[in-house]
């Protein structure tokens, strides 16, 4: 018999982090902890307030129900949690963790042996121009060759100037620039803004307009001068039929997969299958999980052998993250097996 409990944990940002949705100072997360025959399994259910489709009043009661009914087994529980993608992700991790020799090593590979690394983008948060400029300098000196900049919170002209300042020093062959608008543009002005961005040889833009405007997004993707990546657009799309329909209608150039928000490993694999059918490329991004969830996503990502830079560099954002073998070096995420985990919720 498996016993299960859940625990809440608040992650504190080292620096308040700006997005087009506002300033983030803390990130609430939850853990499912399994116990069977003196073995422990851990999974993080990375709820993201204001973004997750399962940010609902009965979230904690659903977690409680899952723990009380844990012996129904993983497949049944995943079906019962079809509208709780973050809980699905936590369950997948917890059951893999329980079965593994090392509870933190869910997908043993050359990555977890420390022999291979994953290329990642350096994330630049929104804020005052000088703050963003300093972050860009820091990422460049740290060896990143791909930088992702969140835009849409300050004056667009100021953001264009920041991007221009990078392009003056580094060509698109030297530094790949991605931008993430988090839906900040309106359908009326989006194309004009995309044209200004394309002059700076931007690799791609994530979610230029708010999700749910399917026909407007489809039109934008058909006319865009630079590749568009769907991100929030994938949240809350549950059935395979709806996933296929969405990608066939919008025809994006990329999709971005956040396992906590789209149903974990299984949900990510479904989206990848439909994306590839529609000749659409993809990459994987964390959604501000602790190192528990981040490590699980990184290990999973390595198994997929996607060679684009992934969005997995968020582990160092928090003051009270768990000590882990994850290290960011020269624009890559590595797993150093010499380093130990310290998972302590107190």
- Integer Cα distance of 63 and 339 in angstroms: 31
- Integer Cα distance of 261 and 86 in angstroms: 6
Active site residue 273: no
Looking at 148, 193, 210, 258, which residue is catalytic? 258
Which is nearest to 321 in space by CA: 9, 6, 102?
A: 9
Q: Is 95 helix (H, G, I), strand (E, B) or coil?
A: helix
Looking at 27, 139, 148, 150, which residue is catalytic? 150
Could you tell me the end-to-end alpha-carbon distance of the chain, in angstroms, rounded to an integer? 26
Active site residue 137: no
User: 209: Cβ–Cβ under 8 A, 6 or more apart, which residues?
Assistant: 181, 183, 185, 186, 187, 190, 216, 217, 220
- Alpha carbon 181 to its chain centroid, in Å, reads 15
Q: Which two tokens stand for residue 44?
A: 């993080």
For residue 56, what are the CA distances in angstroms to 20, 46, 52, 86, 186? 22, 14, 9, 12, 27
Active site residues: 150, 258
């Amino acid at each position: 018999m498996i016993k299960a409990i859940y625990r809440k944990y608040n992650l504190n940002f080292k620096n308040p982090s700006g997005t087009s949705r506002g300033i983030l100072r803390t990130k609430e997360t939850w853990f499912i902890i399994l116990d069977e025959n003196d073995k422990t399994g851990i999974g993080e259910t990375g709820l993201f307030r204001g973004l997750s489709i399962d940010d609902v009043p009965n979230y904690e009661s659903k977690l409680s129900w899952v723990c009380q009914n844990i012996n129904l087994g993983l497949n049944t529980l995943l079906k019962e949690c079809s509208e709780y993608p973050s809980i699905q992700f936590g369950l997948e991790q917890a059951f893999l963790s329980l079965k593994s020799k090392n509870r933190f090593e869910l997908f043993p590979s050359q990555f977890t042996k420390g022999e291979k690394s994953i290329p990642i983008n350096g994330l630049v948060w929104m804020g005052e121009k000088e703050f963003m400029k300093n972050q860009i300098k820091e990422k460049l000196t740290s060896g990143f060759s791909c930088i992702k900049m969140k835009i849409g919170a300050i004056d667009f002209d100021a953001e264009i100037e920041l991007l221009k300042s990078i392009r003056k020093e580094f060509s698109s062959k030297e530094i790949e620039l991605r931008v993430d608008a988090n839906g900040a543009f309106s359908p009326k002005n989006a194309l004009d803004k995309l044209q200004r961005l394309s002059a700076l040889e931007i690799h791609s833009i994530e979610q230029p307009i708010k999700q749910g405007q399917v026909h407007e997004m489809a039109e934008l993707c058909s006319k865009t001068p630079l590749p568009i990546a769907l991100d929030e657009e994938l949240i809350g799309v549950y059935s395979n039929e709806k996933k296929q329909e969405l990608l066939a209608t919008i025809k994006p150039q990329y999709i971005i997969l956040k396992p906590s928000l789209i149903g974990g490993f299984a949900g990510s694999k479904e989206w990848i299958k439909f994306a590839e059918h529609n000749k659409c490329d993809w990459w994987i991004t964390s959604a501000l999980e602790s190192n528990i969830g981040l490590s699980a996503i990184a290990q999973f990502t390595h198994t997929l052998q996607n060679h684009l830079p992934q969005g997995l560099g968020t582990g160092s954002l928090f003051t009270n993250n768990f000590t882990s073998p994850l290290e960011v070096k020269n624009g890559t995420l590595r797993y150093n097996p010499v380093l130990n985990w310290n998972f302590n919720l107190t």
